[in-house]
Amino acid sequence: MQKKDGYNKKDLDKNKKLKDKYTIQAERDLRQNGYKIHSTIDKDIYMKFQKVAKDYAYYGPDTTVTVIDKNGKTKQNKQQVQTGSILIENKTGKVLSFVGNRDYNDGNQLNYVTQRRPNGSTMKPLLDYAPAMEKGVVQPGTPIADTSEPILFPGQSYHPGNYAGGYHGIVSARDALKNSYNIPAVKTYAKIINDNPAKQYLDKMGITTLEKGDYYHPSLSLGQPTWGDYTRGKHERICNVRQQRQFCRRLYDRQNNDK
């Protein structure tokens, strides 16, 4: 549609109003014009993904929150710990399967694959250890103190803890990453933050959701940006997928013409 009007993808990425306009038109076109869509999804794998998400027994406890409905009445809503996952064929970029959430229903229609969420510890190899190793600051066997102390950053200090609590003394960078210890990761990041590794590395990986303050805040080293990344994007960062994601193999109109 946008091509007919003389626009390309870059034009839409720069202009949110224009992008929203063509997104709405495309969604309306797909719903009303009788298109036949052949997706890349493998049904057998997809159904197994849904079963695993449904049957998993170790989600955290549900929480209850108080909300005000559209009529101004107060009610209690139960919220589950949610999940989102995606399986992409690295060689082709084809999306073979995904899990959007635990229980899709009228009250829960969010697809957590396409929602921005903090990427947590998956940030450690991307922003902390790999850039530091490339710069020669640390190597897999470098000893790092997993101890309780403020970690100095430009203009501030940061005092993180480990997710499971406690400290582990002197550990190698290899073991710190393997066990996902927070403190060694932050200490590694502190050694390279003046080089702005978020700009040097994350931007090149296609992470476009960072705010200005994220580039300088220590918590980014633990995957806690202001808004977060997309689940599908996290897969691409970890696997270094270069191909464009594909959900659709073929698209036909009513006359069986390729679109």
Taking only the tens place, the pLDDT of each residue in 147-183 is: 999 999 999 999 999 999 999 999 999 999 999 999 9
Give this prediction's pTM.
0.69
Q: What is the per-residue pLDDT for 241?
A: 45
Q: What is the per-residue pLDDT for 88?
A: 86
3-state SS, the chain, equals CCCCCCCCHHHHHHCHHHHHHHHHHHHHHHHHCCCEEEECCCHHHHHHHHHHHHHCCCCCCCEEEEEECCCCCEEEEEECCCCCEEEECCCCCEEEEEECCCCCECCECCCCCCCEECCHHHHHHHHHHHHHHHCCCCCCCCEEEECCCCEEECCEEECCCCCCCCCCEEEEHHHHHHCCCHHHHHHHHHHHHHHCHHHHHHCCCCCCCCCHHHHCCHHHHHCCCCCCEEHHHHHHHHHCCCCCCECEEEEECCCCCEC
230-252 tens-digit pLDDT: 655 555 555 554 455 566 777 77
Distances (CA, A) of 231 to 96, 170, 239: 14, 33, 13
- Angle (nearest 5°) at CA 137 between 208 and 148: 85
The answer to whether the CB of 95 falls within 8 A of the CB of 246 is yes
pLDDT along the chain (259 residues), means of 10: 83 86 88 86 95 92 86 85 86 88 72 81 95 97 97 95 95 98 98 96 84 94 85 54 61 73
